[in-house]
Amino acid sequence: MKMKLVAVFMLAGACLMQAPKTMAQAATAQQPAGSSQQGIDQDVKLLRQDIRAKKKQLIAANLTLTADQATKFWPIYDQYTADLVKINDQKYVLIKEYADTWGTMTDAQAVSLISRSLAVDEQVVQLHLKYVPIFNKVVPGKTAATFFQLDRRVQAMIDLQLSAQLPLVQAQD
């Protein structure tokens, strides 16, 4: 039950183009009562792929690139996204652990989860710092800055939707 709840939260929180309630209702309707963790993981994987595709479309629609810049930019973007996916995999693991322990979570587990969550956030910052000069080699500084603005805005929307769906730790008491 807890893992089904995580899937609903992930589906509800991660969707960029649809309202959270609509996605949660769709996820609930698609998941049979005894669905396996593997099935939930597959659904989340497909959703994340869809979000990445929509994110790329959004960036392409809002980032002005010449043909030459685009030829150089998009392969770097794809590598950046692959690196970010690895970090986001860790976020997903933490969310699953949060859901599994919610209701019985100890103080030590809560501190461990927040510490590991902050470490994941730090990995994202380090990834951005790594890629700023890489993107800046193929596009002008304003274009690179615009890309990172768009990237951060999309991630902020996803994070806000997701965090709004997760119950507070103290609510388990």
**Tens place of pLDDT for every residue, the chain, 173 residues?**
343 334 433 444 444 334 333 333 333 334 444 456 677 677 777 777 788 889 999 999 999 999 999 999 999 999 999 999 999 999 989 988 998 898 899 999 999 999 999 999 999 999 999 999 999 999 999 999 999 999 999 999 888 888 888 888 888 76
Is position 152 within any domain? yes
Is residue 41 included in any domain, yes or no?
A: no
| Domain annotation covers residue 131 | yes
The pLDDT score that the predictor gives to residue 50 is 81
Domain count of the chain?
Answer: 1
Q: Would you say 14 and 155 are in contact if contact means Cβ atoms under 8 Å apart?
A: no
Give dist(CA 83, CA 42) in Å, integer: 20
Give the pLDDT score at 166.
83
CA 8/CA 28 separation, integer angstroms: 7
Within a domain: 18: no
What pTM value is reported for the model? 0.74
Within-domain flag for 124? yes
Phi-psi region of 103 (alpha: psi -120 to 50; beta: other; left: phi over 0): left
The reported pLDDT for the residue numbered 162 is 82
Q: Tell me whether residue 25 is in a domain.
A: no
Half-sphere exposure of 65 (CA within 13 A, CB side): 22
- 30 within a domain of the structure (yes/no): no
Give the residue among 40, 97, 146 at the shortest CA–CA distance from 48. Answer: 40
Segments forming the whole domain that contains residue 95? 48-172
Residue 6 resides in a domain: no
